[in-house]
Structure 1
Amino acid sequence: MDTSLADTLKTQANAHRYFTTDFTERTGLGWHQPTPANASAGRALSVVIPARNTAYALPTVLEALAAQQHAADVEVILVDDASTDTTFDIARQHPAVTTAVSLAERRGSATARNVGARLAQAPTILFLDADMVLPTHVFADVAARAEADTVLTGFRHNLTHRTSPCGRPLLPDSPPLLSADHRVTWKPPVGTVLPYSGIMLAEELDGRPLDATNDFQSLGYGRFFFDWDLPRMVVTALLAVPREQLVDVGGFDEEFGALGWGMEDTHVGAALIAAGCLVVPLRQAVGFHLDPPDAAAQWQAKLTAWPATLARYRHLLSLPAPTDRGQAFTTAADKHLTDAEVITR
């Protein structure tokens, strides 16, 4: 019987210090240091943005991409998941977007990411949410550090929806805070069964997952920090993955899109870890995540669907680790593209 994905994760280390130390010795740059533009010269990056009804944030997000300071060869692919607002119009007209795709039917973010990955040309794909506003150094941060066996994860600082008189999102004058991400500062509920580990905390915890796990290194071999394991640290709000490895594991499981919100990034993280990838944080890569006007209603809808997506994830953990799925990935993505509108600059 083939080894399950869950059991394969127990055999994989995440001791990445040798990798980050080598980068520092080779370049003279700190691993968590914002990167000068010229350090990314000779590198290539495909940025894939899944989007649905994000017109409230997208102009600000794309302006931040246009302002990136880097020397890499970068393409930006935005895949609109059948929005009912002006998301696609914004994308196809903005100079920061090199390829804009409009899916004919709503399929979910997993499918949108797979379509973008199918069109991507660079060896590294940076997945970015359509409501994430990046500091100017992030493209260079990722491009300079990406390798064929690394998953690089950035962080997010949620902002409550506020707009200027002209209707644009209001951003703070200060940079986004690393500590605002729940993988960095975490205060779990007391007396409630935590969903991933099944444990219940009897007293309040001032959790620091990133620090307590030595930049996720001690989460190797399937270990937990309370309710956190290594796949849970893989969050596609800001995440760079090796394209070849992503395709080989079959990309994102599209069934998640039919069920609702969440877990497709956790599953693809588990698949990539099982394939031998290291998960390495970039503490300097923190973006502002812009909440939508109806954030409370959207969050409630997401939580309603979460039990189904969590059950799907647990089922996939019981199956063999995915590998040699490249042909199936290509066939499925090409099928979605047959009736999609694709505009390339």
Structure 2
Amino acid sequence: MRYDASKSDLINNICLFQDDAEVNQLIRDLSNELGFPRVKRVLTLYFENEIRLRCDENNLFLGRRISVKTTETWREAKFKSKFLGTLLNVLFGAGLKSAALSNVIQLSFPEDQEASVIYLSDTLISEHQFEILCHEDAKFKSETIQKILKNKIDKDKLIHRTSKIVDESLVDDLGVLNEKVINFCKQVNLSLSLSTTTSYFHQISAVSNDYGELVTVFEQITGYKMLGSAPTPKIYTADLPSVSIIIPAFNLGESIIKTLKSIDRQTPDVIKFEVIVVDDGSKEPVSEIIKKVQDDLRYEPIIIRKEKNSGISQTRNIGAAVSSNDILLFIDGDVVLTPNYLYEHLLRHKLVNKALLVSFKENAEPTDVRISYDAVKRGVVMPNYSSDLRITKYIDKDTMGYYSNNYLAQGDIFSILSETNYFRTLGFGRRLGNFDLPSMVVGHNLSIPKNLFYATGGFDNKFSGYGLEDSLIGIKAISAGAFIIPVLACGVYHINHPTRRGTMEEIRKEFEINSDLIAKFLSGSE
């Protein structure tokens, strides 16, 4: 049930706390009972305490105060956040150039059957604030909500306290916006400019990848490092998003059997998933291979067979088109997932609306005992993914990249992950040698919200052969305001195999063709 604040039988209970430790415990208890919260940065402006403007990364709400029974609430109109500049200009034109203003972190918890719960940090009244929207006679199953309501502040006291809040100027004599508004726009990658540029290069050069606030919230709730290698306890299982796992398949042989079994071994069991295998015209139909182990799987994959090979981009797009779940996980049919892979990715997707998540790989021979079928049935141990090019300590000058004349100088070495603070400082178009933020997106394992994937337009069918179709997804996701975040608490083994696409020289030529395509997309000429 989604609560509508305009209905007269709903009451917005404001509950205030001063003790940081108590609040942290309440947040953890809510996460245990209701599930992981959604995190947003929210800008709120109160004009003369009668008009309210709220904005997050996606939406903007303009409302006026109304009285509802024993309390007061807001009736609001909804817009896209890109209209923030337009609405501010309208309000300024009406003479409203000062306001009580806050730029805070908001945690929105999955709803109890009787209430909607929001936590706001660092509020205008200088205290931790929980808002509980519910029916007046609601009875709560959540013990934590009952505890929070003991700190409810009544209507008169709230009006008295808010009346003492000092307004700030929103624009100075030179027309420069308030710094809090500017900082908010930077934090959520929201432009107030009316520029109509379509160049992806300019778009990715204008946005940050600093997701530090999400790290703080994750660690506040779980007590575990969001960017650490230690697995997160499987206690935050309520209301996890569902996931569609999309596997393109072309002449994979029996390696896909281990891939499917590693999915079967995922925990906890409450995760809702579907597996879609798209056979891109393999000589031996994938369906015949899967028949050999179907009785050993707890699920039945959806198998789509194409008679003619059309390339990995179209194959992945077909899988996405028939998917039915919230999150899309793209993996190759020759990787083996650690048993906690889905949980770690879905937990982070629950936390943030716009994120493309990547994990790292270790290459392993088919005969490696760590990825034997029996080992996969038990659940594989964590791979040693330090050799992954995105995390490796050394990058040599011959590594292929798509920026011409930008190869590393002889002897240059660096660690991408540590050099960029886990990609956080790789925003604003920054490059390290041949590597930038989009090139951290690799298609053998990545997860993305379905609505964000659709916003990118999917994988581009112009790319064929080896590489970079996944980097373009990264470029488009970043342009849409998404963070690229690594997940180190899980990983994959990549099963080594002879190349299926020709010689290394042919692969290099394909890569160069695709590099030219990327350059055209970045410049806006494609």
Q: Shorter-chain TM-score: which interval?
A: 0.7 to 0.9
User: Within 1, Cα distance between the matches of 2:219 and 2:496?
Assistant: 36
SS at match of 2:459: coil
SS at match of 1:14: coil
User: Within 2, Cα distance between the matches of 1:298 and 1:140?
Assistant: 38
1:1-345 matched pairs, under 5 angstroms: 2-31=197-226, 32=228, 33-43=230-240, 44-70=242-268, 71-91=270-290, 94=294, 95=297, 96-146=299-349, 147-162=352-367, 175-185=382-392, 187-190=394-397, 195-196=402-403, 198-257=405-464, 260-294=465-499, 299-319=504-524
**Unaligned residue ranges in structure 1 (runs of 5+):** 322-345
Select between 65-74 and 275-284 the one with higher mean Cα deviation: 65-74
Larger Rg belongs to: 2
SS at match of 2:328: strand
Cα deviation per residue 1:233-266 (whole Å; 9 max; x = unaligned)?
Answer: 0111110111101112210101113xx2111000
Select between 290-299 and 13-22 the one with higher mean Cα deviation: 290-299
Contact 2:423 2:437 in 1 (8 A): yes
CA RMSD between the two structures: 2.8
Deviation at 1:159, TM superposition (A): 1.8
Q: Give the corresponding residue for 1:328.
A: none
SS at match of 1:255: coil
User: Within 2, Cα distance between the matches of 1:15 and 1:110?
Assistant: 29
Label 1:40 to 1:297 Cα distance change in 2 as closer, same or farther (>3 A).
Answer: farther
Cα deviation per residue 1:177-224 (whole Å; 9 max; x = unaligned)?
Answer: 120211111534448996426224443233210111000011100011
User: Within 1, Cα distance between the matches of 2:460 and 2:222?
Assistant: 37
Instruction: Look up the equivalent residue of 2:310 and give its one-letter code.
Output: R
Label 1:19 to 1:298 Cα distance change in 2 as closer, same or farther (>3 A).
Answer: farther
Deviation at 1:226, TM superposition (A): 2.0
User: Within 1, Cα distance between the matches of 2:272 and 2:373?
Assistant: 30
Contact 1:222 1:230 in 2 (8 A): yes
User: Within 2, Cα distance between the matches of 1:216 and 1:48?
Assistant: 25
Label 1:41 to 1:49 Cα distance change in 2 as closer, same or farther (>3 A).
Answer: farther
User: Within 2, Cα distance between the matches of 1:200 and 1:142?
Assistant: 33
TM-score, reference length from structure 2:
0.56
Deviation at 1:294, TM superposition (A): 4.7
User: Within 2, Cα distance between the matches of 1:227 and 1:39?
Assistant: 39
Deviation at 1:124, TM superposition (A): 1.1
Instruction: Look up the equivalent residue of 1:230 and give its one-letter code.
Output: L
Label 1:24 to 1:193 Cα distance change in 2 as closer, same or farther (>3 A).
Answer: closer
**Where is the strand percentage greater, Structure 1 or Structure 2?**
2
Label 1:273 to 1:192 Cα distance change in 2 as closer, same or farther (>3 A).
Answer: closer
Percent identical across equivalent pairs?
A: 27
Deviation at 1:296, TM superposition (A): 9.7
Label 1:281 to 1:161 Cα distance change in 2 as closer, same or farther (>3 A).
Answer: same
Contact 2:232 2:489 in 1 (8 A): no
Cα deviation per residue 1:75-125 (whole Å; 9 max; x = unaligned)?
Answer: 111111111124232346633443111123211111111111112222211
Label 1:89 to 1:271 Cα distance change in 2 as closer, same or farther (>3 A).
Answer: same
Label 1:161 to 1:198 Cα distance change in 2 as closer, same or farther (>3 A).
Answer: farther
Contact 1:77 1:116 in 2 (8 A): yes
Instruction: Look up the equivalent residue of 2:247 and give its one-letter code.
Output: I
- Aligned pair count reads 317
User: Within 2, Cα distance between the matches of 1:265 and 1:236?
Assistant: 5
Label 1:295 to 1:193 Cα distance change in 2 as closer, same or farther (>3 A).
Answer: closer
User: Within 2, Cα distance between the matches of 1:283 and 1:187?
Assistant: 19
Deviation at 1:39, TM superposition (A): 2.5
Contact 1:127 1:239 in 2 (8 A): yes
Deviation at 1:137, TM superposition (A): 0.6
Contact 1:151 1:277 in 2 (8 A): yes
